[in-house]
A and B are shown apart, each in its own frame.
Chain A
Amino acid sequence: MADAHAHTDHSGASHGSVGSYLTGFVISVLLTVAAFGIVMAHSFSPSGTIAAIAILAAVQVVVHLVFFLHMNTSSEQRWNVMAFAFTVLTVFVLVVGTLFIMHDTSINMMSR
């Protein structure tokens, strides 16, 4: 994570270096290739595959946030991170709530 602001001229500034972008890029390529590879190779059971690619996607999102959007724990970034955390919570409630309600409805309506 320290790589994301390994910068010589400004100490607190958070705008990456060639090295940090390349690090993020290489990790992203590996994660993407792994996700496509797992699906195309059919090496896991369907539910195992879903879990595996969901985890790979989550890790890649974090990699992008750190290496490309330069999110970090510095005080300058505090409100960005707070806003992001609140958004993650909102999206979680939205998606999980929707799936739960629609699943429950379809069971009670006996549409499945």
Chain B
Amino acid sequence: MAHDMTADAAHAHDEHHESPVVFGFWLYLMTDCIIFGTLFAVFSVLRTQFAGGPTGKDVFELGGVGIETAILLLSSITYGFGMICAHQNKVGALRGWLGITFLLGLGFLFMEIREFSHMVAEGNGPDRSAFLSAFFTLVGTHGLHVTCGLLWMAVLIVQTGGQTVLSERMTNKLTCLSLFWHFLDIVWICVFTFVYLMSVI
């Protein structure tokens, strides 16, 4: 792709003021924070209600959680590198980084679905105890957000195809998804700390 020719155009485009679109999306993320805050509160209340079923120590495998954490963290900086390319109008490189981020996100989701299906197959599904209901609701909601983020990323990879200069509108879309993606990583920090690690202490 001839994206290198347009690298100089980056100087021409002025973006000192954050778009109201991005601020609006930030406000949406803040409400999303409250959803997760509520789910974390629910989990904290129900974390010891095992109903004679398995405890966190029995069902969680820290190795898998560690790999999931590593994948998500890595996908955060690959998206970040993509945004740097976007601000320099290197569309080809941007799409490459988005592709890598997409694959990492898919890997994360794959591991999470595998973990969930193992638990359900062993009879430790969300219907087993209040602890597991809260666990599946909280972690499942995060997984659902990751799924939406991946759909959004796929759409943006398609939409940026064939472009040499990114419009302001497209840059805003990419910025919003970057906030969303980094936000999901922040939620995951709380998930692996307060759900997984605290349950196995």
Contacts and interface: CB of A to CB of B under 8 A. Distances in A.
B185 A84 contact: no
A65 B186 contact: yes
Contacts of A49: 201
Nearest to A47: B201
Given A35-B197, A90-B37, A21 B30 contact: no
Given A21-B77, A21-B81, A80-B23, A69 B30 contact: no
Interface string B174-201: 0100010011011001101110011011
B15 A64 contact: no
A91 interface: yes
A99 B41 contact: yes
Interface string B76-120: 110011011001000000000000000000000000000000000
A9 B81 contact: no
Contacts of A60: 189
Interface residues on B, range: 35 or more
Contacts of B73: 25, 28-29, 32
Interface in A82-102: 83-84, 86-87, 90-91, 94-95, 98-99, 102
A10 B198 CA distance: 43
Given A29-B73, A69-B182, A94-B37, A57 B194 contact: yes
A17 B34 contact: no
Contact of A16 (B26, B37, B80): B80
Given A29-B73, A84-B30, A54 B41 contact: no
Nearest to B87: A15
B51 interface: no
Nearest to B80: A21
Contacts of B183: 69
B17 A83 contact: no
Given A9-B10, A16-B83, A61-B189, A99 B45 contact: yes
Interface of A: 9-18, 21-22, 24-25, 28-29, 32, 35-36, 39-40, 46, 49-50, 53-54, 56-57, 60-61, 64-65, 68-69, 76-77, 79-80, 83-84, 86-87, 90-91, 94-95, 98-99, 102
Interface of B: 10-11, 14-18, 23, 26-27, 30, 33-34, 37-38, 40-42, 44-45, 62, 66, 69-70, 73-74, 76-77, 80-81, 83-84, 87, 175, 179, 182-183, 185-186, 189-190, 192-194, 197-198, 200-201
Given A35-B197, A64-B189, 17 more contacts: A9-B10, A9-B11, A16-B83, A16-B84, A21-B77, A25-B73, A49-B201, A53-B197, A57-B189, A57-B194, A61-B186, A64-B182, A68-B76, A68-B80, A69-B179, A83-B27, A91-B33
